[in-house]
Chains A and B, each alone.
Chain A
Amino acid sequence: MTAAPAPPPAAPASPRAAAVELANVSRWYGNVVAVNDISFALAGGVTGLLGPNGAGKSTLLHLIAGFLAPSSGTVTVAGQPARGHPDMYRHVGLVPEREAVYPFLTGTMFVRAMARLQGMDPPQAAEAASGAIGLVDMAAAQDRAIGTYSKGMRQRIKVAAALVHDPPILLLDEPFNGMDPRQRLQMMDLLRRMAAEGRTILFSSHILEEVERLAQRVLVIVAGRLAASGDFREIRRLMTDRPHTFTVRSSDDRALAATLLGVPAVAGVALDDGLLTIRTADFGDFTRVVSGRARQAGISIYELLPSDESLESVFSYLVRR
């Protein structure tokens, strides 16, 4: 089930002990298995937790955050069991998925309160809060009540609150939800910088592009299982090398079908109701060869569309492997 052996860590992080470690962790609710026998260890760098909605990403993050007890297995964070050890939270910054933040506090009051709950005295907390608010670019709105914030602003103030005690481990549940593209880029930039300083960052997302742009490592979760893990490029290769199906419109579909049958990368062609469908075994080869062959045969291709590019189909392919 697991993808090819994990490549050497791409992160420039210090090679210290794993900050987050899961050993054979399962979690079930009654008869429903939400997380199924997952093991991995994370050190510095950004790791993306990727999977379709309802796959168990949130449950997994809640297990790591100590909000859920594993039904079996162990979750270790910063060297201690995640559950029942509040001291662990000195090392952890958490950005929950749920949007609610105390609406009656201003941004500054909220982040300061979070700093003080981490044990800072008021002057320290005030300084740390203004630093964290600056990092997420919220200084302009810091004295407004959070109840008046947009979704993206709320998300950013939550990130500031999670960063305020400068934790070595950051857990973010769908952090880019509700952010506009510019805010998204800024946040990615910030997380990249944080990771470069040696922090361990784990964020969940159901959007492949977000993970692709930010994560060095990926954990793919499908239906509670770890479907693949490792370097993002490795996963990407697995995803692109899987059989693809294309639909084609050209000047002569019949002739094109005949021509392409001779191409090794083509696993099959079908012509139904005037719609030419091509299955390929090797995505890379096929895309390199197809236009040349068509030109040789004097056929113009009007349209070449991948027909099953949904994330779900990619995930289910990974699970079936």
Chain B
Amino acid sequence: MNPVIAGITLRQLLSRRRTILLLLLGGVMVLVALIVRLAGDTSRSDEFTAGILANVGVATLMPLVALLFGTGAIGSELEDGTAVFLLAKPISRTTILLTKLAVAAGCSVLIACLPTFLAGMLGAGGLGGGLVLGFTLATAIGSIIYTALFVALSLITSRALVFGLGYVLVWEGLLSGLFAGTRTFSVRQHTLAFADALTDVPGSVFRAELEPLTAVIVGGLVLVAATVIAIRRLTAIEIAGETA
């Protein structure tokens, strides 16, 4: 970790527009939870809350937050040319990458978990038997994996936003519903499995489709592989002149 790079990255990521946009998105989830709580059947509030946290939080908010922070951490800096100010310094590219990844992951965790926790508390009218804390913790882990994935993607293609969105919507959204096998390689399913393992709510309230062990192994592999690939890409990356 390099504190100076961390500081610059933090300011880059938490630009006013991006932060407001993401907080608004989180606010929508909190609002939905509130409406469900006020209008719905209180005897089934745990079930509704789990549904919101899984389908809005884990399936939508978390990947979008991680996508914006992950692709903004270093990819956009390479594009606008400011990355040379970091690369032309006596600092290893591994340190640069790990610092940026850590900061982006931290931002994702914060911006994804805060609304998750609030929506959970409001929806369940309390901690909901470990439901809220379980989902918040699982969302934190999921955000880290997603961020690493999208940082690596931003170093592989300049269209990381498009491909990242494609992965979330098509692979995780569409194909996972049709083919059970694709769920093994879905960060969303990993996160839901973590949430299931971390809560002790009955299966009627919430149940993940993936075994926790599979999620730990595959999710861990994705995290490590994405980080290693990102380091290797940044080390190998070439910056050409504008006229080249």
Q: Which A positions have Cβ atoms within 8 angstroms of B?
A: 29, 34, 53-59, 61-62, 65-69, 84, 86-90, 92, 94, 96-102, 104-105, 113-114, 116-119, 161, 173
B174 within 8 A of A: no
Chain B residues within an 8 Å CB radius of A87: 90
Closest to B85 in A: A114
Q: Is A118 within 8 A of B8, CB to CB?
A: no
CB distance from B171 to the nearest CB of A (A): 32
Other than A56-B243, A98-B80, A116-B4, give 12 A-B pairs with Cβ distance below 8 A: A29-B244, A56-B244, A58-B240, A59-B244, A86-B90, A86-B91, A92-B88, A96-B81, A100-B81, A102-B85, A104-B12, A117-B89
Q: Is A62 within 8 A of B89, CB to CB?
A: no
B38 within 8 A of A: no
Question: When A100-B81, A113-B8 are in contact, do A54 and B238 touch as well, CB less than 8 Å?
Answer: no
B41 within 8 A of A: no
Chain B residues within an 8 Å CB radius of A113: 4, 7-8
B239 within 8 A of A: yes
Q: Is A102 within 8 A of B87, CB to CB?
A: no
Chain B residues within an 8 Å CB radius of A67: 84, 87-88, 238-240
Chain A residues within an 8 Å CB radius of B15: 104
Count of residues in B whose CB is under 8 Å from the partner chain: 29
Chain A residues within an 8 Å CB radius of B238: 67-69
Give Cα A243 to B81, complex, Å.
Answer: 43
Question: When A59-B244, A68-B238, A105-B8 are in contact, do A117 and B91 touch as well, CB less than 8 Å?
Answer: yes
Chain A residues within an 8 Å CB radius of B12: 102, 104
Q: Is A86 within 8 A of B8, CB to CB?
A: no
Give Cα A119 to B235, complex, Å.
Answer: 20
B20 within 8 A of A: no
Q: Which B positions have Cβ atoms within 8 angstroms of A?
A: 2, 4-5, 7-8, 11-12, 15, 80-82, 84-93, 235, 238-244
Give Cα A82 to B128, complex, Å.
Answer: 59
Within 8 Å by CB of B242, from A98, A105, A161, lies A98
Give Cα A117 to B233, complex, Å.
Answer: 22
Q: List 8 A-B contacts (CB under 8 A).
A: A55-B243, A68-B238, A86-B91, A89-B90, A98-B242, A100-B82, A117-B85, A173-B241
Chain B residues within an 8 Å CB radius of A90: 90
Chain A residues within an 8 Å CB radius of B91: 86, 117
Chain B residues within an 8 Å CB radius of A114: 85, 89
Closest to A113 in B: B4
Chain B residues within an 8 Å CB radius of A68: 238-240
Give Cα A173 to B239, complex, Å.
Answer: 14
CB distance from A55 to the nearest CB of B (A): 8
Q: Is A62 within 8 A of B8, CB to CB?
A: no
Closest to B92 in A: A86
Chain B residues within an 8 Å CB radius of A173: 241
Give Cα A53 to B90, complex, Å.
Answer: 31
Question: When A100-B82, A116-B4 are in contact, do A89 and B89 touch as well, CB less than 8 Å?
Answer: yes
Closest to A116 in B: B4
Chain B residues within an 8 Å CB radius of A92: 88
Q: Is B242 within 8 A of A104, CB to CB?
A: no
CB distance from B4 to the nearest CB of A (A): 5
Chain A residues within an 8 Å CB radius of B90: 86-90, 118-119
Please list the 10 inter-chain residue pairs (A to B) with the smallest Cβ-Cβ separation, ordered nearest first.
A58-B241, A98-B81, A67-B239, A117-B89, A100-B80, A94-B88, A116-B4, A59-B244, A100-B81, A54-B243
